């Protein structure tokens, strides 16, 4: 059956780890008869967490696509991981969702993982609703969790329901939208509808009126009727709430016990009746500034938001149809590389289970296999149509490790496996660092990289070890120095001869020419690794032929690429070549390259050299209770606290810290904050290291060179 765009709902489950997203998705599937029995995380048989590693760990690591049929609609459900180490899975899922369902833990309240997903909701203007889960827990506190959500996310957070008897023995929900009390049987399932008790009438009426006002405010006709009659019909209320939700004017709050399957059916009904379809959402932005309306009547355009590689299957591509109808056997053109791809098979997914379909209309989400040259973040169109959906903005990496190189044969297998995983997971960046002479992995956190390591060792049978990565220090100078060097080599026949007189000094923008030298030519170059080299040719009288200038500059560059102090790259230096000697027979480019390189190396030590280290800006979000421990940990890392400010009921700490002190910081932060903090880091600048650190770095380099 092909579902019309208006009858499709795309919902992404978001929330902190442990809030119960996977259990809720299982209850939603069961309520819709998509599964015949509810699996549990403990029994390792849920539809969502179906991979071996997820079963072993007991939590979600990958996003999982599922679908449920409800009345005349198809509800696509994407369960996402709660740990921010796997934020890439959240970002890709958010891209194709039309409603975000944020799951809160009734005993823990609004946790830091919720803050993370809220940023994406705001960036993408995604309609959102809240579900306060685990109402049956003995320490559940619906009112406190609701208050935290309202304090953090504003007065648009409006409750639709509340539990009558939360905690152990929970089985009653007051629904202020339907003005009904749901009483659930033991073990959950379909509830009995009863009248709201008199003791709860006032609270229920107050909540109902708040919902009616929110619905009326977004449609002039409804507002007029509300003023005239003081209420709205059920159909009018649904119409107004759909508009309010789609426009981000209301964030409805529900409650449930996913474990006991109490309340999930009502949530499904609300998604079906009130949540926006893809046709109700704003047109999708395209690269170039244009927009694409979601309609089955246009030319076919689809977007790949996730890619996996499965044994015996190959590439599995998850996609959303943004326009037209994608049919089995269609051939589309990749807008990124102009390659044609034939869609021989189309599927609906429920976890690892896939059911074949003949076609998918605009707004629907599906799966295909064995696309040859298509990857995540790419758009494919009907031939003759050239448009690209604006790509997913994946977050920058926050951690890096060096890979200890195994044997040559294993290294080839390892790099192939890493490349494959990086195509599936764009938040993993594999770097072959020429500067550091290491293979580096950049990821979102230590847990993220540990999972990569697990997958490679289990699936590809290649052992790998992580080491502390080297730091990309820089070297520069702080005062002027002059010197000369003569390179002379005679070994029968023609020899080598070149003598260079050189001045080096710190370079800065707009510095005047040297007053005691005659500048003949200047070259100011941007160095590949950052910073500048200013090369001044100041030879008067032809003591060195100008044809050797390039060779001299090349010799200097060679030494700047592997600096004299620690072998690190040099930057922001002005070099003036003001004298020298050459030989009519023995002078050549090689002689002057060697002379220039040795001269630079020798006088570098006389110019008061300085080692620079990379500094990173940190932004840390943590609770009031853990702020002291977080700041104490930062101080042990030579960090400079630059500011603190409130952010909801969290504290935001702004700091600057050296990269050398941030190794395994994500694990340390998780430990000191009990998992209730998150951070981002971004390169800021290079700053001088302290003299004691500089001496230690030089000593280490000298020992290594001797070794």
- Confidence label for 228 from pLDDT (cuts 50, 70 and 90): low
DSSP labels for 199-245?
HHHHHHHHHHHHHHHHHHTT-HHHHHHHHHHSS--HHHHHHHHHHHH
pLDDT in tens, 566-606: 999 999 999 999 999 999 888 999 999 999 999 999 999 99
Q: What is the mean pLDDT of residues 650-666?
A: 93
Q: The CATH number of the domain where 367 resides is what? A: 2.40.30.10
Task: Give the pTM.
Answer: 0.87
Q: Quickly tell me which residue has 């109902």 as its tokens.
A: 208
Residue-level pLDDT at 535:
98
Tally of domains in the chain: 5
Residue 25 and residue 47 in contact, taking contact as beta carbons nearer than 8 Å: yes
pLDDT at position 537 over 80: yes
Q: Give the whole-angstrom CA distance, residue 17 versus residue 81.
A: 7
Domain termination site, one of 541, 574, 607 = 607
Task: Return the axis-axis angle of helices 446-459 and 665-672, rounded to nearest 10°.
Answer: 120
**Domain shared by 165 and 180, yes or no:** yes
Asked whether residue 704 is assigned to any structural domain, the reply reads no
Say whether both 263 and 145 belong to one domain.
yes
CATH code of the domain in which 422 resides: 3.30.70.870
Whether residue 481 is found in the same domain as residue 560: yes
Q: Would the CA dihedral through 175, 179, 183, 188 be positive or negative? A: negative
Same domain, 310 and 418: no
484 with 337, same domain: the answer is no
In a domain, 48, yes or no: yes
Residues 263 and 123 in one domain: yes
pLDDT class of 226 with cuts at 50, 70, 90: low
Q: Are 65 and 76 in contact (CB under 8 A)?
A: yes
Report the distance separating Cα 444 and Cα 395, nearest Å: 8
How distant is the alpha carbon of residue 601 from its chain centre? 43
At residue 606, the 3 state secondary structure works out as helix
Rounded to the nearest 10 degrees, the angle between the axes of helix 408-424 and helix 446-459 is 120
Q: Residue 147 pLDDT more than 80? A: yes
DSSP 548: G
Average pLDDT estimate for 689-695: 95
Pinpoint the alpha helices (H) of 279-431: 408-424
Q: Give φ, ψ of 388 to 5 degrees.
A: -125, 125
Looking at the structure, tell me whether residues 121 and 214 fall in a common domain: yes
CA 150, chain centre distance (Å)? 26
- Give the structural domain span for 460: 399-467
CATH code at 595?
A: 3.30.230.10
Higher-confidence position of 234 and 35: 35
Contact 473, 566 (CB under 8 A): yes
Cα–Cα distance for residue pair 465/478, rounded to 1 Å: 40
- The gap from C-alpha 132 to its chain's centroid, in whole angstroms, comes to 26
pLDDT band at residue 616 under the 50/70/90 scheme: very high
Q: Which of 27-31, 492-496, 549-553, 673-677 has the lowest mean pLDDT?
A: 492-496
What CA–CA distance (Å, rounded) separates 394 from 90?
10
- Closest to 332 in 3D by CA, of 295, 378, 394: 378
Kindly state the helix (H) or strand (E) to which residue 322 belongs, with its residue range: strand 314-323
CA angle 580, 582, 587 (to 5 degrees): 135
For residue 167, being part of any structural domain is answered with: yes
Does residue 362 lie within any of the structural domains? yes
Question: What phi-psi label fits residue 109: left (phi over 0), alpha (psi between -120 and 50 degrees) or beta?
Answer: left
User: For the residues 60-83, what does the mean pLDDT come to?
Assistant: 95
Q: What is the CATH number of the domain that holds 646?
A: 3.30.70.240
| 570 within 8 A of 557, measured Cβ to Cβ | no
Same domain, 577 and 688: no
Domain end among 256, 280, 304? 280
Answer yes or no: do 332 and 264 share one domain.
no
Do 320 and 267 lie in one domain? The reply is: no
Q: What is the pLDDT of residue 236?
A: 78
Q: What angle is formed at CA 27 by the lines to CA 37 and CA 320, rounded to 5 degrees?
A: 105
| Same domain assignment for residues 603 and 622 | no
CATH code: domain of residue 15: 3.40.50.300
Beta partners for 476?
610
Q: Is residue 75 part of a domain?
A: yes
Mean pLDDT in residue range 682-687: 95
What confidence category does residue 379 fall into, taking pLDDT thresholds of 50, 70 and 90? very high
Look at residue 501 and tell me whether its pLDDT is greater than 90. Answer: yes
Is 88 part of a structural domain of the chain?
Answer: yes
Spatial distance between the Cα atoms of 98 and 448, rounded to a whole number of angstroms: 27
Q: What does residue 162 show for φ and ψ, rounded to 5 degrees?
A: -155, 150
Same domain for 145 and 36, yes or no, is yes
Q: How far apart are CA 148 and CA 152, in angstroms?
A: 6
Helix (H) / strand (E) containing 601 = helix 589-604
Q: Give residue 444's region: left, alpha or beta (phi > 0; psi -120 to 50).
A: alpha
Is 656 domain-assigned?
Answer: yes
Taking alpha carbons only, the member of 664, 162, 617 closest to residue 400 is 664
CA–CA distances in Å: residue 565 to residues 450, 478, 502, 535, 597: 35, 14, 19, 21, 14
Boundary of a domain, candidates 554, 589, 607: 607
Looking at residue 230, its pLDDT comes to 67
Q: What's the pLDDT at 618?
A: 95
Q: Which of these, 319, 427, 359, 342, lies nearest to 95 by C-alpha position?
A: 319
Tell me how far CA of residue 685 lies from CA of 332, 615, 657, in angstroms.
Answer: 45, 5, 10
Which residue, chain included where needed, has tokens 């005062």?
479
- How do strand 128-133 and strand 73-79 relate by DSSP bridges? unpaired
Helices (H) and strands (E) counted in the chain, each on its own, are 16, 38
pLDDT for the residue 631: 94
Cα-trace Rg, the chain: 32
What is the overall mean pLDDT for the chain?
A: 92
Q: Residues of the chain with pLDDT > 90: what percent?
A: 75
**pLDDT single digits (tens) 280-337:** 999 999 999 999 999 999 999 999 999 998 888 888 999 999 999 999 999 999 999 9
User: Exposure string (b/e) for 548-560, b if CB count within 10 Å is 16 or more?
Assistant: bbebbbebbbebb
In 10 A of CB 603, how many CB atoms? 21
Give the ranges where 247-374 is alpha helix by DSSP (H): 264-273
Q: How many CA atoms within 13 Å lie on the side-chain side of 514?
A: 26
Instruction: For residue 392, tell me if it sits in a domain.
Output: no
pLDDT tens by residue, 514-528: 999 999 999 999 999
Overall average pLDDT of the 543-562 stretch: 96
Query: Is there a contact between 91 and 393 (Cβ–Cβ < 8 Å)?
Result: yes
């Amino acid at each position: 059956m092909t579902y019309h765009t208006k009858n499709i709902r795309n919902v992404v489950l978001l929330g902190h780890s442990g809030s119960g997203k996977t259990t809720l998705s299982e209850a939603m599937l069961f309520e819709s008869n998509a599964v015949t029995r509810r699996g549990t995380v403990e029994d390792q048989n849920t539809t969502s967490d179906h991979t071996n590693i997820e079963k072993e760990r007991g939590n979600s690591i990958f996003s999982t696509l599922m679908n449920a049929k409800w009345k005349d609609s198809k509800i696509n459900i994407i369960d996402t991981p709660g740990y921010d180490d796997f934020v890439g899975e959240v970002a890709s899922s958010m891209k194709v969702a039309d409603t975000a369902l944020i799951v809160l833990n009734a005993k823990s309240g609004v946790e830091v993982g919720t803050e993370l997903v809220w940023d994406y909701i705001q960036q993408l203007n995604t309609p959102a609703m809240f579900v306060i889960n685990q109402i049956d827990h003995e320490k559940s506190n619906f009112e406190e969790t609701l208050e935290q959500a309202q304090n953090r996310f504003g007065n648009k957070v409006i409750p639709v329901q509340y539990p009558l008897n939360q905690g152990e023995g929970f089985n009653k929900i007051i629904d202020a939208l339907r003005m009904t009390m749901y009483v659930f049987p033991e073990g959950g399932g379909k509830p009995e509808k009863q009248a709201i008790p008199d003791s709860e009438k006032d609270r229920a009426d107050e909540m109902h009126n708040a919902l009616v006002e929110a619905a009326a405010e977004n449609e002039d006709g409804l507002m007029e009727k509300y003023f005239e009659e003081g209420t709205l019909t059920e159909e009018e209320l649904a119409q107004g709430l759909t508009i309010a939700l789609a426009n981000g004017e209301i964030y409805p709050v529900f409650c449930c016990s996913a474990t006991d399957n109490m309340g999930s059916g009502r949530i499904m009904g609300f998604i079906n009746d009130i949540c926006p379809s893809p046709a109700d959402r704003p047109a999708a932005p395209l690269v170039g500034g244009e927009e694409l309306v979601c309609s089955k009547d246009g030319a076919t355009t689809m977007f790949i938001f996730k890619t996996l590689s499965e044994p015996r299957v190959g590439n599995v591509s998850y996609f959303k149809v943004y326009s037209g109808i994608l049919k089995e056997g269609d051939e589309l053109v990749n807008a990124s590389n102009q390659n044609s791809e034939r869609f021989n098979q189309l599927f609906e997914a429920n976890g690892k289970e896939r059911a074949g379909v003949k076609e998918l209309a605009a707004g629907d989400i599906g799966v295909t296999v064995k696309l040859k040259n298509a990857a995540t973040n790419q758009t494919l169109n009907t031939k003759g149509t050239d448009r690209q959906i604006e790509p997913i903005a994946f977050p920058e990496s926050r951690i890096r490790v060096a890979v200890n190189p195994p044997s040559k044969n294993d290294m080839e297998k390892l790099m192939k496996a890493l490349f494959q995983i990086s195509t599936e997971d764009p938040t993993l960046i594999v770097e072959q660092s020429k500067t550091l002479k290491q293979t580096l992995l950049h990821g979102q956190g230590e847990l993220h990289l540990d999972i990569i390591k697990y997958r490679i060792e289990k699936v590809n049978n290649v052992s790998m070890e992580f080491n502390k990565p080297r730091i990309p220090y820089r070297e520069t100078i702080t005062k002027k120095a002059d010197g000369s060097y003569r390179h002379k080599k005679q070994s029968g026949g023609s020899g080598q001869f070149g003598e260079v007189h050189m001045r080096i000094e710190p370079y800065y923008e707009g510095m005047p020419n040297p007053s005691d030298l005659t500048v003949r030519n200047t070259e100011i170059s941007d160095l590949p690794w950052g910073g500048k080299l200013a090369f001044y040719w100041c030879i008067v009288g032809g003591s060195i032929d100008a044809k050797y200038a390039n060779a001299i500059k090349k010799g200097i560059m060679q030494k700047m690429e592997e600096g004299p102090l620690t072998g690190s790259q040099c930057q922001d230096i002005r070099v003036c070549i003001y004298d020298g000697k050459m030989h009519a027979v023995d002078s050549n480019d090689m002689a002057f390259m060697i002379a220039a390189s040795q001269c630079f190396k020798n006088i570098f030590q006389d110019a008061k050299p300085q080692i620079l280290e990379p500094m990173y800006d940190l932004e840390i979000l943590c609770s009031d209770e853990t702020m002291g421990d977080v700041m104490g940990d930062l101080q042990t890392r030579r960090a400079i606290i630059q500011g603190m400010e409130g952010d909801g009921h969290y504290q935001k700490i702004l700091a600057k810290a050296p990269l050398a002190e941030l190794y395994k910081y994500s694990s340390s932060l998780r430990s000191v904050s009990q998992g209730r903090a998150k951070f981002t880091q971004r390169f800021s600048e290079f700053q001088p290291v302290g003299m004691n650190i500089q001496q230690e770095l030089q000593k280490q380099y000298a020992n290594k060179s001797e070794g």
